[in-house]
A = this chain, B = another copy of it.
Amino acid sequence: MAQAVRRLVAHDGLDAATVAAVAREVGCSVGLVQHYFPSKDALLLFAYERMQADQLDRVARLIAEGEAGRQPIRAILLRCLPELWPLDEDRRGEYRVDRAFHARALDNPTVAEAAGRAAAVVRGELARAVTNGKECGEVEADTDAELAAAELAALVAGLADDLYREPDRPVGGLPLRGAATAILTARLAHYFPGTCRHYR
């Protein structure tokens, strides 16, 4: 059912995710949806949290792979962060779901909390990367990990908005897809210059 909600919201927006529509998408009755969820709100929240968990799991897996391969921190981040961008149809769908729930979060504290938690996980992971980098001398000692994490997270989130709207708009000669990567690369290189080629 969570998958059905996700498909409906991705395709036609939150308003299209009525209980009846979810039942139709699943191929069951309205009653069954009610059997598993006490209310429509609970169903939507569950679907949202599940999607976030899926997303964060993917990122965590990429991090684990990068660490196993003893890649530089910068390379790991450059691999993980664009995972949150709407660069293919699946991720565009996720972006649509995410934005729809972000709007809902404005009026629904429970959804807001879920959205805040996910954002905090991303920031936390970034702060950890910076801290690790400081320990091994890759990152300058006077860099504030939280501040750097907040900047990078904001940059990634902000670029996602533009990427969704016009992924192919030319920006400085490149389509935005490439330009966003270039911007992120430059910013990561600032924090993780890669001078000492330390591994994480």
Contact = CB atoms under 8 A, between A and B. Distances in A.
Interface of A: 12-15, 96, 99-100, 102-104, 106-107, 112, 115-116, 119, 144-147, 150-151, 153-159, 161-162, 165-166, 171-173, 176, 179-180, 182-183, 187
A176 B176 CA distance: 29
A119 B150 contact: no
The 4 lowest CB-CB distance pairs between A and B, nearest first, are A154-B158, A158-B158, A103-B103, A144-B172
Contacts of A96: 106
A120 to B, nearest CB: 9
Contact of A147 (B100, B155, B172): B172
How often does this chain occur in the complex, in copies? 2
A182 B151 CA distance: 10
A159 B154 contact: yes
A112 to B, nearest CB: 7
A101 B29 CA distance: 33
